[in-house]
Structure 1
Amino acid sequence: MNYTLKYWREAATLILTAGCQHVSSVSKTIILGSSKGHPKKTTFDYEVLFLQRSEKSGFMPSAFVFPGGLVEPSDFSNDWVKVFARHAQKPNFGLGIVKQPCDTRPPMFITDRRKFGSLVPGEVAFRICAIRETFEESGILLVVPENSNIEDNQKFMGAYDQDYEAVAKWREEVQNDPMRFIEMCKELRCVPNIWALHEWGNWLTPVFSKNSRARRYDTAFFICCLPRKPITTDDQKEVTSFKWWTPQEAIQECQKKAWIPPPQFYDLSRLCNFTHLEELQRFALHRALEGIDRWMPVIVHAKDGMVHTLPGDELYPDDPDASGQDQKIYSTDRRIHELVQDGKHLHRLLHVEGVVQLFITIQPKYKHLNPTFLQSDNDIEPKSHL
């Protein structure tokens, strides 16, 4: 672990998708590319796991989020080298080397963990964290036999579904002590399936205001595709309920009453590019080693509200205050609709009547995709679309 961080803590989350038994068709208006939206029938053959946080949670209470949580010292334990003995001598335990130049790689991935005494690379430890947290919060265990090969593990793999009672017991032990996750893998002769988790994004909690004491996290986002939905159970602690929604259903719920935080909403909208799970799996696998940027939204105060800008937006500062110690306030005397209609380089989120709206005209990097928009009646019409 990185014990030198002062302003935030490291975390990992998992966008877990799974093929659904029933396939639902929903008629929606979609804005894609530079063309206007036209009603068309969109069918998704997969669903995404959302967990609802407890209303007593100190961070994003009652929100629907992807499974995940804080990195623990156990995720970087050198005991994992023995568990992954078959792969420990390969680059990043067989994950491969990301093509992205080191000077643009997110800090959480480029940090040399050996100076903190760990032989486990960040790329591995953050995946272990995402798998462990998913197990703790939902009961879904993403492991494979210790003697399995990497090529098979990258393909569609089901969750561990043997000896349910024993796994439930281990889940409780891991919830109480994350180090027990290592012991569980040793006893079950399995390893966390880190190869099925592909890099998707990296979000840093923004600085909300002067002297804000809000918790902040530098979070790695991974994606994993399962052929079918595994047995899912909430933990009645941090998680009070769960939902398996298609991307479209989740956005519809967000437009009604469910609160899905902006990073999850953004990546959910990215998934709307894929109606078929196999297409999503191929895309995630093929761009797995391309790289990602760390995004920290910067809030710009307009005359009539706030704009959440992202890197590449014309309002995004050249040197954003990541620490929050400079107490910078970014503002403009223009109104929100003017900023949208007159803008040329847009990469921003707005809240319009309680609904998140995305406005993007920039091209994505590292062979990623921009979100596909589901248009609603209260959209602000931007000058240009993707």
Structure 2
Amino acid sequence: MVELPLSFNIPVRPDLSGPPATPKDAATVMLLRDVDGGVEVFLQHRVKGMPFAGGMTVFPGGGVDKRDADASVAWAGPAPAKWAEWFGCDESLARALVCAAVRETFEESGVLLAGTESSVLEDTAQYADVRQALVSRELSLAAFLADAGLTLRADLLRPWANWVTPAAEPRRYDTRFFAAVLPEGQHADGLTSEADSSGWQRPAEALADAEQGLRMLMPPTWITLNELGEFKNAAEALASPREISKVMPSLVREGDKVRVILEGL
């Protein structure tokens, strides 16, 4: 059992006697890059008014769009069936999760994990207008990649974890975590309405900021940053063996605060 060292306000359903909300499928991506002496991860500080995780520091990500399961997407790397095996889900959902990971990363950071079967994009500036069309849902990822003649590069992603929002919370997500290295030539930005600041930081520094009250981290982010801090570089992190199982924290209310308890870690 692990108990996180911080307590903070977490929304809890007023009536816990009823059934919990059904978790929505979601994907989040830890973008990594190497710096002198270690690895950095791209983090975003979510706008306080957001209905979920407002004010929290997170990795880029979001909910699955039903169009993310479009089987027409040109694909390079591990097949959806392999992702289904890793994440313990059906093949259609696995495809949607990988596509959502690529789409959300592009929408929220401008990093696009796509190219051809033998090369990866080095500059995404020409797709700025498309990025906004994806955000507004005017365009699907499948349609964008087909029109641009691009291939989704699933081989740039690695499965990392699977976290489920506690049953006591009113909004719940079944989120699969991915890791990826920032492609050479590309740049991550903060041009998203969902975050008021974004940037690169070493995991240990982000955790230190949280301990000092300078940022707020959800339990999955806290644990993941601890895990990332153990690696010397991004390649080592992506090469590390991962056993994916669903983890759902439990909440213990103490006055106006909530403690987070993690079983099985």
CA distance in 1, matches of 2:217, 2:106: 21
Change (3 A) 1:236 1:91: closer
CA distance in 2, matches of 1:178, 1:253: 38
> Could you tell me which of 80, 92, 95 is aligned with 2:80?
92
Specify the alignment match of 2:216 in structure 1.
Answer: 259
Specify the alignment match of 1:123 in structure 2.
Answer: 94
> Could you tell me which of 222, 232, 235 is aligned with 2:178?
222
Contact 1:74 1:178 survives alignment (8 Å): no
Task: Tell me the CA shift for residue 307 of structure 1.
Answer: 4.3
Contact 2:21 2:172 survives alignment (8 Å): no
Contact 1:11 1:70 survives alignment (8 Å): yes
Change (3 A) 1:172 1:197: same
Specify the alignment match of 1:142 in structure 2.
Answer: 113
Change (3 A) 1:144 1:239: same
Change (3 A) 1:236 1:78: closer
More RCO (CA 8 Å, sep 6+): 2
Alignment of 1:234 onto 2:190: yes
Task: Tell me the CA shift for residue 126 of structure 1.
Answer: 0.6
Q: What SS class does the counterpart of residue 187 from structure 1 fall into?
A: helix
CA distance in 1, matches of 2:72, 2:138: 13
Q: Give the aligned length.
A: 245
Root mean square deviation, CA, Å: 2.9
Q: Kindly report which structure 2 residues correspond to 1:32-43, keeping only aligned pairs within 5 A, or say none.
A: 43=37
- The letter for the 2-side match of 1:161 is E
Change (3 A) 1:96 1:309: closer
Change (3 A) 1:185 1:91: closer
Change (3 A) 1:12 1:163: closer
Identity %: 26
Contact 1:19 1:226 survives alignment (8 Å): no
Change (3 A) 1:13 1:96: closer
Contact 1:298 1:310 survives alignment (8 Å): yes
Change (3 A) 1:96 1:60: closer
TM-score, length basis structure 2: 0.81
Specify the alignment match of 2:160 in structure 1.
Answer: 200
- The letter for the 1-side match of 2:143 is E
> Could you tell me which of 60, 70, 75 is aligned with 1:67?
60
Specify the alignment match of 1:363 in structure 2.
Answer: none
CA distance in 2, matches of 1:97, 1:207: 24
Specify the alignment match of 1:161 in structure 2.
Answer: 122
Task: Tell me the CA shift for residue 229 of structure 1.
Answer: 7.7
> Could you tell me which of 225, 244, 252 is aligned with 1:292?
244
Question: Deviation per CA, 1:273-319, whole angstroms, max 9, x where unpaired?
Answer: 11222322322xxx26xx4110111124579x75422233xxxxxxx
CA distance in 2, matches of 1:163, 1:219: 26
Specify the alignment match of 1:190 in structure 2.
Answer: 150
CA distance in 2, matches of 1:63, 1:220: 18
Specify the alignment match of 2:7 in structure 1.
Answer: none
Change (3 A) 1:176 1:219: same
CA distance in 2, matches of 1:297, 1:62: 20
Contact 2:189 2:199 survives alignment (8 Å): no
CA distance in 1, matches of 2:48, 2:254: 31
Unaligned runs of 5+ in 1: 24-42, 101-105, 113-119, 313-346, 348-386
Alignment of 1:49 onto 2:6: no
Alignment of 1:270 onto 2:231: no
- The letter for the 1-side match of 2:105 is T
Q: Decide which structure has the larger Cα Rg and report it.
A: 1
Contact 1:15 1:221 survives alignment (8 Å): yes
CA distance in 2, matches of 1:197, 1:300: 35
> Could you tell me which of 25, 28, 32 is aligned with 1:17?
32
- The letter for the 2-side match of 1:232 is A
CA distance in 2, matches of 1:236, 1:124: 25
Contact 2:109 2:189 survives alignment (8 Å): yes
